[in-house]
Homo-oligomer: A and B are copies of this chain.
Amino acid sequence: MVLYLVGLGLGSLDDVTVRGAKALDESSYLYLEAYTSVQEDLSVNFLKERYPTKEVIEADRTMVESACDDMLERAKNSVVSFLVVGDPFGATTHADLFLRAKEMGVEIKIFHNTSIINAVGTTGLQLYRFGQVVSIPFFDGTWRPTSFVDKILENFQMGLHTLALLDIKVKEQSVENMIRQRPIFEPPRFMTVNQAVEQILSVLSDRNLQEDNVQQVEKHILTPQSLACGVARVGCKDQVIRFGTLEELRHFDFGRELHSVIICAPELHEIEESFRQLYSK
Contacts and interface: CB of A to CB of B under 8 A. Distances in A.
Interface of A: 7, 9-12, 14-19, 21-22, 86-90, 92, 95-96, 98-99, 102, 110, 112-115, 117-119, 121-122, 124, 126-135, 154, 158, 160, 235, 271, 274-275, 278
A278 B98 CA distance: 11
A113 B113 contact: yes
Given A114-B7, A271-B92, A128 B135 contact: yes
Given A9-B17, A16-B18, A130 B132 contact: yes
B271 A121 contact: no
Given A16-B18, A87-B121, A99-B274, 6 more contacts: A7-B114, A9-B112, A88-B121, A89-B122, A90-B121, A99-B124
Nearest to A94: B121
A115 B158 CA distance: 25
B118 A128 contact: no
Contact of A132 (B7, B114, B158): B158
Contacts of A21: 18
Nearest to A16: B18
Contact of A112 (B96, B126, B235): B235
A112 B134 CA distance: 22
Given A112-B119, A271-B96, A127 B90 contact: yes
Nearest to A11: B19
A124 B112 contact: no
Nearest to A123: B89
A22 B88 CA distance: 24
B87 A118 contact: yes
A186 to B, nearest CB: 26
Contacts of A133: 127-128, 130
A278 B7 CA distance: 22
B135 A132 contact: no
Contacts of A15: 17-19, 112
A270 to B, nearest CB: 10
5 contacts: A9-B113, A12-B19, A18-B21, A86-B118, A132-B160
Which of A86, A98, A102 is most buried by chain B, counting CB atoms within 10 A of its CB?
Answer: A98
A18 B7 contact: no
Contacts of A132: 128-131, 158, 160
A95 B18 contact: no
A128 B132 CA distance: 6
A96 B99 CA distance: 41
Given A121-B87, A130-B132, A18 B10 contact: no
